Structure 1
Amino acid sequence: MEILRVGTTQDLLIHKSKKAVAILADYSYDEGTLRVLGEKKSLMVLISLDNLLKTRGMARSRLLYKLRNFLKLCTRFGVLFLLGFEDDIKNSNYGIREKSEIIAIGQLLGLDKGQSKMAVARFEDLFIKNEKNKKESAE
Structure 2
Amino acid sequence: MPPLSRWAVRLALVYLGVGITLGALILAQKGLGSLPWAWSGLGAHVELMLIGWMTQFALGVAYWILPRLPGTAPRGNTLLAGLALVLLNLGLGLAVLAPFLPWSAGLTLARLSEVLGLLLFGYAVWPRIRTLKP
Same fold, judged at TM 0.5 (above): no
Higher fraction of strand? 1
**TM-score normalised by L of structure 2:** 0.31
> Which one has the largest radius of gyration?
2
**TM-score normalised by L of structure 1:** 0.30
- Higher RCO by CA contacts (8 Å cutoff, separation 6 or greater): 2
